[in-house]
Amino acid sequence: MTGKSNGWGNPVVYLAALLLIGVMLGPVVYIILGGFRTNSQITTDPAGLPGPWVTGNYTDVMTSDVFWRQAGNSTVAALATTMGVVALGVMASYALARYRFRGRAAMYALFASGLMFPVTVAITPLYLLVKELGLVNTLPGVILPQIAFGLPTTIIILVPFLRAIPKEIEEAAAIDRCSRLGFFWRMVLPLSVPGLITVGILAFVNSWNSYLLPLFILNEQDGFTLPLGVQAFSSQYSVDTAKVLAFTSLSMIPALIFFSLFERRIVGGLTGAVKG
Amino acid sequence: MTSTTVTRDGAGVATPAPLRPRRRGIGWAQRLEITVLTGPALLMFVGFVIFPVLLAGYYGFYRWKGFGVPTDFVGFDNYVTIVQDALFHEALWHNGQIVVLSLVLQGPIALVLALLLNQRMRGQSIIRVLIFVPYVIAEVIVATAWSLMLQTNGAVNDVLRSVGLDRLAHDWLADPGLAIWTLMLILTWKYVGFAVILFLAGMQNIPDELREAAAVDGASYWQTQRRITLPLLGPTIRIWAFLSIIGALQLFDLVYIIWGQYVASTAGTSTMATYMVSEGRNAGNYGYGNAVAVVLFFISMIIALVYQRFVLRRDALPEGRS
């Protein structure tokens, strides 16, 4: 708030910000650059830059079946989870936001209570339930619980969003003999696309990164998602650090791309949800 | 969270009309619509979130290897074992440390960073994106990167030695006295960006007029922050603290991936969740694992309820909203 006339402000602030960015991005840069080095480079100079740059690690990973199979599994799980969360979430949120019925507040509180209990608490019985359903070692065994655990955040973000749609639009639609479900389909869904993108991205990134649930449900390497794959790969090739770094680096790209494309929406959605 | 959101629920209604404008009940058609709209979500949520928690309560009373129907009913034996197990005490103690240290470390750091980034400066939006990156990266990747960097001859010690800080180079991961601090370092790195983003969003909702008025009255920068920004940021800080506490109680991924098989006994970083997995699933004692899940559930729930009752309650007023 120094209010310099050139609008640049205090140079100390920039220095601190630069330092901060260095600390926050250091490990990420370490992973990416490490993939371009050889193991002997990493051993002799652990914090150094690639010299010379080698691309062999990355091309090895990118030509391996394992990586692509696991990337495929992660993609299927993340897309299916996203679609499920968004579809079920927007339907329930619409009812919670724009219908008045007995038990509405209780239903909202029930979903909201889910925020307090991440998957950790339920994982042991959840695994047994999934086993009972015969879904162990299948992607649906991961997808269905992920949809359920994604609903609380989704509903908390979407309900205020849907409630903000002006009543006049609904009344106009009613005059045009549009039923409430028709209104939902023709007006609410198109109007709520920004909110749906926010919750969709959150669901996608959460699924892409999820570890504990796949750890319990998926026990065969062919069925692994990337987080399990990264861990398996790094214990399997524990001596080949450079290749582990290349594998790790490639597996974080989709989440980073999604995040950088939709950063504003993710941050806005999260802060909106938290502030209620 | 429940209480604030529920108030929001009430306060956010567009028109402050009387509670029930049309008291003729809802017709069956509308009831059907509500069922169709909420049914699938309710079914999934109850089936995969609520039901498993109840199941854990049931299985927790059995000695059971996870096959067939549990028959060996042992009453509260599993719970007695948990309460008496020194390994569980240790895990609980670590969780307690992580809860407190997360608040004490991340809170002030995030506040300072948010104040810093709340200054008028170029490139603010790009900085916000970049400090949020660690939060978006998978725990597995964070764990892999840090465990490589923190090895005795890894990048961190290498950098420390090259700048002449040899005495700061440690065996970060394997030294049980140090491991919890290493874990805190990694946790702070990963989650502080989330706190900063929340605080910044909160700060930007504080009207500029308040700060301008303070400046007119001759308040210094720090006085303004202390007397105006911090108090008005209270609701945001309290919600963040709540999320941080719940997350710290349930911490699993990072610990399990970095310390892996050592976690159970000697690494000095075991948590209730890693105890649950290693004593339950990995040991094949599913009855016992479920009992641990129940304990974890109740500890989290009691802390959440107490926190809501005594800390968040004051935010359940319109002024808590932005």
Nearest one of A153, A107, A141, A166 to A217, comparing CA atoms = A141
- In chain B, residues with a C-beta closer than 8 Å to the C-beta of A129 are 48, 51-52, 55
Subunit contact B257:A205, Cβ cutoff 8 A: no
Cα angle B290, B58, B38 (rounded to 5 degrees) comes to 95
Q: pLDDT over 70 for what percent of chain B?
A: 88
CA distance B194 to A47: 27
Subunit contact A125:B127, Cβ cutoff 8 A: no
Cα angle B239, A255, A212 (rounded to 5 degrees) comes to 65
Distance from CA of A125 to the nearest CA of B (A): 5
Which of A1, A57, A116, A208 would you mutate first to test chain B, the one with the most B CBs within 10 A? A116
Q: pLDDT over 90 for what percent of chain B?
A: 15
Question: Does the pTM exceed 0.80?
Answer: yes
Q: The tokens of B71 are what?
A: 């028959």
* A60-70 pLDDT, tens digit each: 888 888 888 88
Q: pLDDT over 90 for what percent of chain A?
A: 13
Spell out the domains of chain A, with CATH numbers in brackets. Answer: 11-44 (no CATH), 83-240+252-275 (1.10.3720.10)
3-state secondary structure B112-143: HHHHHHCCCCCCHHHHHHHHHHHHHCCHHHHH
Please name the residue of chain A whose CA is at the shortest distance from the CA of residue B124.
A17
Q: Residue range B50-67: average pLDDT?
A: 85
In chain B, what are the helix, strand and coil shares in percent, each to the nearest 5? 75, 0, 25
Residue B76 identity = F
CA distance A158 to A111: 12
B12 pLDDT more than 50 = no
Mean pLDDT of chain A: 83
3-state secondary structure B258-298: HHHHHCCCCCCCCCHHHHHHHHHHCCCCHHHHHHHHHHHHH
CA distance A34 to A246: 7
CA distance A44 to A53: 15
B15 pLDDT more than 50 = no
- In chain A, residues with a C-beta closer than 8 Å to the C-beta of B289 are 124
- In chain B, residues with a C-beta closer than 8 Å to the C-beta of A123 are 276-277, 293
* B256-265 pLDDT, tens digit each: 888 876 665 6
Size of interface A-B (CB pairs under 8 A): 310
Q: Helix, strand, or coil here: A103?
A: coil
A276 pLDDT more than 50 = no
Subunit contact A267:B197, Cβ cutoff 8 A: yes
Subunit contact A255:B253, Cβ cutoff 8 A: no
Which of A57, A217, A243, A271 would you mutate first to test chain B, the one with the most B CBs within 10 A? A271
Identify the band that residue A45 occupies on the pLDDT scale cut at 50, 70 and 90.
confident
B62 — phi, psi (to 5°)?
-120, 150
Q: Residue range B141-161: average pLDDT?
A: 83
Q: Residue range B190-207: average pLDDT?
A: 84
Distance from CA of A177 to the nearest CA of B (A): 15
DSSP string, B204-215: TTS-HHHHHHHH
Q: Which of B20, B56, B224 sits opposite A125 (nearest CB)?
A: B56
Residues B148 and B257 sit within 8 Å (Cβ to Cβ): no
* A204-216 pLDDT, tens digit each: 888 988 998 999 8
Please indicate whether residue A255 or residue A72 has the higher confidence score (pLDDT).
A72
End-to-end CA distance of chain B: 15
- In chain A, residues with a C-beta closer than 8 Å to the C-beta of B273 are 120
Distance from CA of B177 to the nearest CA of A (A): 24
Cis bond leading into A52, ω under 30°? yes
Identify the band that residue B159 occupies on the pLDDT scale cut at 50, 70 and 90.
confident
Out of A187-201, B16-30, B208-222, pick the least confident.
B16-30
At residue B260, the pLDDT reads 77
CA distance B259 to B270: 9
Which of B4, B5, B131, B188 would you mutate first to test chain A, the one with the most A CBs within 10 A? B5
Q: Residue range A161-167: average pLDDT?
A: 80
At residue A273, the pLDDT reads 60
* A209-238 pLDDT, tens digit each: 899 899 989 988 888 988 888 888 888 887
DSSP string, B147-202: HHHTSTTSHHHHHHHHTT-GGG---TTT-HHHHHHHHHHHHHHHHHHHHHHHHHHH
* A109-128 pLDDT, tens digit each: 888 888 877 788 888 889 88
Block residue for tokens 């209010």: A3
- In chain A, residues with a C-beta closer than 8 Å to the C-beta of B222 are none
Subunit contact A151:B15, Cβ cutoff 8 A: no
CATH of domain B85-320: 1.10.3720.10
At residue B230, the pLDDT reads 82
Please name the residue of chain B whose CA is at the shortest distance from the CA of residue A91.
B37
Q: Which of A28, A95, A230 sits opposite B34 (nearest CB)?
A: A95
The Cα-based distances of B143 to A73, A205, B106, B147 in angstroms read 21, 17, 19, 6
The Cα-based distances of B109 to A226, B192, B205, B224 in angstroms read 32, 8, 20, 19
DSSP string, B295-312: HHHHHHHHHHHHHHHHTG
- In chain A, residues with a C-beta closer than 8 Å to the C-beta of B26 are 99-101
Block residue for tokens 């290693």: B278
